[in-house]
Structure formats: C-alpha cells, structure tokens
Structure 1
Amino acid sequence: MELLSLQFDPRHLDAHLIGAGQAALTLARQFRGLELALTLHGEMMPALSALAREEGWHCVAAMPQTGQLWIVATGITSEDAHWAERAHQLGIGVYVPACPELSTVRLPARTQALAPEAPNALRRGHVSLVGAGPGDPGLLTLRALERLQEADVVIHDRLVSPEILALANPQARRLYVGKARSAHSVPQEGINQSLVDWARGGYCVVRLKGGDPFIFGRGGEELQALADAQLSFEVVPGITAATGISAYTGIPLTHRDHAQSVRFVTGHLRNGTCDLDWQTLAAPGQTLVFYMGLGTLDTLCEQLIQNGLSASTPIALVEQGTTARQRLHTGTLEDLPRRLADLKAAPPTLIIVGEVVTLHDTLGWFATQTARSLGWESGKHPSPLPLADSR
C-alpha cells in the first residue's frame, strides 16, 4: 500500500488518546512539548493524569465520538481492535502502535531530541537481533550486554528474564511483545512492522529474544521484514535452551558411549500439528531435544515408540532451566506421559530424549539456590517490571 505523507501543526490537530494505563502513558510521553491539542479518555492512572496537567491536555471520562485522529493504546489487543474498528466506521484516522495493521495513520518517532551520534557508534536506525539465552543473565554474550546498554528501544519476548532486562539502558523504552501458544500480545506481523517503524524513526533497537533468535525464534522472519525495508541490522547469537539447559542439568547432548548426534525439533508446527518425520527421529544413537513440546508429549512418546524406539528410552522434562525455578522430571517414553498430570509441569519446558538422560545422576551440578535468575512466576509470562513500558 502506498502511503500519503502529511504534516500537521499539532496545535490544530483534534487528537484523542484512548487508553488510561501504562501503554497509554508510554505513548503520551512521546507527545511532551508538542503543544498537541490532545484529549484523553477514560479513568486515568495517576501518572497519566499528572502528565496531562503538565501538558495542558483535556481529560474526560466519556469515550470519543468525533475527531481527526484517534490514538489507541489500551494495553489489551481486543480493546485496541474494537476502537480501531469504530474509527474505521466513523472515517476517523486511527493509530494503534501495538497493532500496526489496524492503523490508517502512522506517527513517525520523534527524532529531533536524540543525542548526536558518538564517534564509531552504530549508526541510528539500526536493529540488533539479540539472543538472551535461556534465563541466567550470566549466559549473555559480551556483545549482547553492549547492545542492551546502548539501546534506545528494547522490544522483548515473554521468555526474557527480568534480570536480563534490568541490564538494559535505564532510559530505553521497553516494549513487551510476548507470545504464548494460546495468547499473542502482538501478532507476528505487528512485531515485524514495529521493528521497521522504530528503525525508520532513527532509533537503536534491540529485538531481544529468549535463547538464540535463529533457533525456533522467528528471527529470520523478522530480519526478512527489515531486509525488505532496506534497513540496517545485525544478529547477536545467544545460548539456545537446548545447550544451556543440558549443561545446567548435567545431561550432555552427545557422548561417545550414548549419542553420536543430536537433533533440535519443534513440538508445535506452524499449522498446529505435530506431524514430524518419526522414522528419522526414532533412529538409534542420537539425542532428541523438543522445544515447545509439552502440550504434545503424549503424541511425541507414542510416535517414537511406534517407529522403533524402546518404550524404556529415558526422557527428561526440564522446566525453567538455568533459573531458580528449574525442575527436572525424568522417566521413560512409556511412563512419563502417564505421570504428567501429577507433575504439574508448565511452560517453558524443554524435552530431552535419549540415553544421555541417565548421566544426570552423576553429572548434575546446578543448585537452584545459587541461581542468578528467579525465573517466571506463572511459567508463561514475565514477572512485572517497574520500568517496563515506562519511558
């Protein structure tokens, strides 16, 4: 779609902000000093009310019915979609930063307040796709730490530990775009467009992903969007869950006496099935590591047995590996699925299949009380961050 670029005097733009929480506050702060004729709708959180008073913006409880531009940031995807649809019906321009595909207007990031570039620094308008590792902040690479400390914007997934986010530039905006199997805070297309928009705005962006971004992390899809937009980017690899968690559980992925190869496999395909090459996966002398396979554990074990692996083959489930909430459950292909309900295992969980699992008893070394990351309280979403989305 071809866009028409317009410039408005903000004093004469009838703009309305829909949203009264943290997401709205983060967006409203970008309009400081613009003399924007902005009306805020809903019951404001105190910080947003204070900002409105500072800027001379109007606050009303009723939701808007007219205007030239609606800016929607409720923090709830379904609510954002509702108000975007309402704006479409009324023929009012709408900007929904969390869902760019719903927007009929795009607001470029303000770049005039950015500090001048330091000599030899990465040029502005650059995205660093950074692997955060499996949880322990001590497993970050030096380059990952450097990029976090230089970032203007950090766009992060659900499986980036709070301890790692705490290492980022305290002045950076932090935007959560996490996905669980049943709940996507922002669709993938929206994440891709967000990266493009922030980079075009002249910012140093860190796209922070758990593990390694090129191993079941959709990193390639996101870089393709940046490449199509002819934007500058780099990749900073991270320790993937398989290698980090195998080390922290004392389960070597290869061993001359047990496994001569290892396979990393996703237990949840794009089409929602678990239709894999089971004959190849059931070959002897290898270790299998399944990502995102907890919900299909019954199928995984059943198919491996049907295609030739012994029912007594050892298997391990590892919850929240490398963190204080690491839990290891071991068994066999035959018995572990029956015990799953009693184990109450929850994502993020990695599955390791093969004779190497038996080595945990002698090679296990990690004590959770020494962990540098507390992990995730619910297992599916990051713990609350005082600074998240606050700048």
Structure 2
Amino acid sequence: MAPYKCQSLFVEVQQLVNDQYKTVLVEMIACDSLTNTIFASGQNGEGVVFVGKGNFLSPQDWVMEDADLLGNKTMDVRFHFNSLTDVLVEGFDTSGNRLWGTRYIKRNPKDKNLGVQLVSVHDNMLENPYETLKQLNRLGFSYIETFVYADGTFYGMSPAVFKNMVALAGLRFEGSMTFYDLPTDEKWDEAILWWKKCIRDHKEAGVSYLSTSNHELKTVKSKHELQRYCDYYNAIGKLCAENGLQFVYHNHADALNVAQIDSLKKFIRKGGGFVGIHAASAAKKRNAWYDGLIGGVFTNHPKLQSAVLQVEDASFPAVMHLPPKWLWSDEWYNFDKFDDQKVHVVLKVDEKTYDYSAGYDRIPLKGMGENHPIAWCHHYDGGRIFSTDSRKIYACTVKSK
C-alpha cells in the first residue's frame, strides 16, 4: 500500500442563504506523521468551538469523532475520497443516525486545456449526462471526446441538443470515437452513406475530429483484404477532410506484423519521427527493436486514480505549457525494460500521491519508485521518438502547438 502523505489544510464552508453565501464552518485539519492520526479544530456558525480526532480506515476513507470543549461528543464525520478532488462527507449523531451529507468537488483551473474520453465515465453519462459533464468541468477538463454515437444521436440526444448541453456544462465537444464495420462489396455504398450522415451530424454538433479503432484488424488474412481495409478507412478519412474534420485511427496490440515492423524500421532509420501514445508501450511485446523504440514495455497499471504529475524539463515543447506540478487522473502505467539513462524524461508521476498497489484483481501491484516516468523522448536508430503513458495528456500537448 502506498504511504499516506500527511499535511495540514484549512477548510472554510459557506452556505447560500437568501442569495448570499454565509460562512457556516471554519476548520483546521492535520495528520500526525508519527501516529497516522487526524486532528481537527474548528468553529461552527453558532460560534461553538469543537475538536476532532480520527484515523484512516483505508486510503480513500477516514472517520472523525467531534466533541465540544466541555468534552461532549457531538457527532462522527466520515469522509470518502472518490478522488483527490471529489469528496463525500457525512455527519452521524451519537446513535449512528445520519444527520447530513454533502459532496465537495474542487473546481480546478482550466488553463491546461485538457480533454477527456467519455468512455472513462460511460456509466455515469448514461445515468446522468449533464451532472457528469458539470463534474468534469469542475475537475478542470476543457473538452470531451464521446463514445456512443448511434442512430444520429449522442446519449439519446440530437447533435444540437447534446452540443448545447456540453456548452451549458462549460465544456467543448471536440471529438467522437465512432464505429461502422468494414462492409462487404454489396454494402459498400450503404456504409459510405452512413458515414456521410455521421459526418453531417458531428459537424452540427461542432466537433473537430472523428476517431475509430482497429477492432477488425484481426479479421484481415491476406494482402487483398488488407487493401480493402485500407481503402475503406482512407475513404472515410477523405470524407472527413472534405468536410473540414480530422480523422484519427487508433492502433492497439494487433498492429505491426513482421512486414510492418520492417517498414517502420526503414522510416525511422531515414530520420523519421515517432510519437507513441498510451498503449503504444503494449502494442508489440517481445520485439526487442520496438521495445527500444518506445523506451519501455508496459507491465500493468492500478485502478484509475488522481495523482500529482511533475514536469522534469519545462523547456520541452510537449510540456512547456504545464505548471511544475499538477493534479491529473489517469491509468498510471508501470514499465519493464525502462532505462532512464537512455531516454530524456520530461514528465513524472509522484507515487506518494496515489495507491500504486490497487490492482483490479485485488493482487497488490508494485510501483516504480521515485523515478516513475510518464513522458520521455530520445534518439533511436536514426530517428526521433516521443512517448507518453497518458491516454489523455496527449490531447493537451497536441493542442499546445
């Protein structure tokens, strides 16, 4: 389990009363590093001073027992951290009855121009799209990429309605991951008509790009089938370009057979540039040349969590627009075969700020220690390479040009 990072904080709670915000609580909270105990001292809106003492139940939960200065226990207060910026707080009387509850979501600054793929919050979007979008805005995101375009709608809404909802939540609708399977020759025109409508709907919704993935690449067994596959997605890319949209094609672990690796080698050895994003470190395991190209091999990652990122080289173009330290939520990849003497690390994650042991199958994971890289660059076999673990950070680096 990752160690707790103990520090103090000052809290002021205001409540809206008659169209004016009134302070109802001030409190100082600190964690004692010797005993791992939480202490608090504060005053409520009635002027009553209280003290509290509590402890951690888990990395995400703590409980406080409050008492007045006469020694009378007043309530238990329980905190559950959904993330470092999203906290559920509940108060219980001495009999265990719930008195109140509230949720605090920190509003992060949006000067970093970061986007989020809504597949990360897919269930939340299906349940309550507007509230989910508002929370993403408060977490500091600037724009979104959707995942569920179907039958001319986004989460059951028309392009115009969804666009307005996104704008009302304080976000921009920049892109959409969209799928339509490779058609047979008889269904080719039908597929192209679908994409034309898809593009019109996304233009109405105001997006700047469409993306898709290689989920059908495993079905390709011959050069002829590969040519049809390429012709299909090139046709889609051409339609997008004609309508002022970018088209993005996602590769995954099925990419790069022997012939394709050879082609990539020739490109790199002629001085080509390569940008590896997110799962690029898992795209071609057990190939020594490709492992060296990326700079590291993906092993695993803990559950999606918030953590503090630290810029190591503020002069590097991909991170020069970022503050020295900042909070971000992502899948924090662990790597094997990573040698920081062979690459130039420009961004790290602080393992003290998240639980690197929290695996999905309850088997504790191991982190990488103080030097946990997130983005790096190097020269390799004649070419220039930039790699980043993050599936979302790349969006802000691309838009910082």
Shorter-normalised TM-score: what interval? 0.3 to 0.5
- Give the TM-score normalised by structure 2: 0.32
Kindly name which structure, 1 or 2, has the bigger radius of gyration based on alpha carbons: 2
Higher relative contact order (CA 8 A, sep 6+): 1
